[in-house]
């Protein structure tokens, strides 16, 4: 029953209309999602590749562009900032999935953050991890173009 409506409705009529619209919406949602259902991969190797492709953005933070890194480019070595919990295997798989090249060797080093001060406030930059990825002579990654 509404205060501003001239037509008075009962609770039974309201519940009847609600159940009919819910049934229609549920049927239409099933139709929508049945067409877009993702296909499942039966092989284990395929599942690992898709998982690595989804996780690559968590492993590779950014390419490191410095003078030393560009000098290493001549030796087919590429430098990346990686996540603090990344290991050599996950970095190699992430490079494979993102750039489509298989690394020959991966070296990882931990870089400690420097102590900094601004006025009277002292602080410390965060620690980070650097990965040097060596590729075969025939493979390249276009990171340093336009820099």
Asked if residue 79 belongs to a domain, the reply is yes
145 pLDDT band (50/70/90 cuts)? confident
Asked if residue 71 belongs to a domain, the reply is yes
Asked if residue 98 belongs to a domain, the reply is yes
The whole-number pLDDT of residue 11 equals 67
Asked if residue 26 belongs to a domain, the reply is no
Into how many domains does the chain fold? 1
CA 73 vs. chain centroid, Å, equals 26
Asked if residue 95 belongs to a domain, the reply is yes
Structure tokens, 68:
């030393």
pLDDT at 125 over 80: yes
The whole-number pLDDT of residue 66 equals 94
The whole-number pLDDT of residue 36 equals 47
Asked if residue 126 belongs to a domain, the reply is yes
Asked if residue 129 belongs to a domain, the reply is yes
The pLDDT of 85-114, averaged and rounded, is 95
For residue 112, the enclosing domain spans: 60-134
Of 51 and 116, more confident: 116
- Give residue for tokens 């006025």: 119
Contact 113, 125 (CB under 8 A): yes
Asked if residue 46 belongs to a domain, the reply is no
Q: Output the domain CATH number for residue 73.
A: 3.30.70.330
3-state secondary structure of 6: coil
The whole-number pLDDT of residue 130 equals 97
């Amino acid at each position: 029953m509404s205060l501003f409506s001239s037509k008075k409705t009962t609770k039974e009529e309201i519940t009847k209309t609600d159940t009919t619209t819910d049934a229609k919406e549920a049927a239409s949602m099933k139709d929508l999602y049945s067409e877009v259902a993702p296909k499942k991969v039966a092989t284990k190797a395929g599942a690992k590749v898709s998982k690595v492709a989804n996780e690559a953005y968590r492993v590779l933070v950014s390419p490191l562009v410095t003078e030393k890194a560009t000098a290493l480019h001549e030796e087919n070595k590429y430098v990346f900032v990686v996540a603090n919990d990344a290991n050599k295997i996950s970095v190699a798989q992430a490079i494979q999935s993102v750039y489509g090249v298989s690394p020959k060797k991966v070296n990882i080093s931990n870089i400690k953050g420097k102590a900094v001060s601004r006025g009277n406030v002292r602080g410390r930059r965060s620690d980070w991890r650097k990965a040097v990825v060596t590729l075969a002579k025939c493979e390249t990654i276009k990171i340093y173009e336009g820099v």
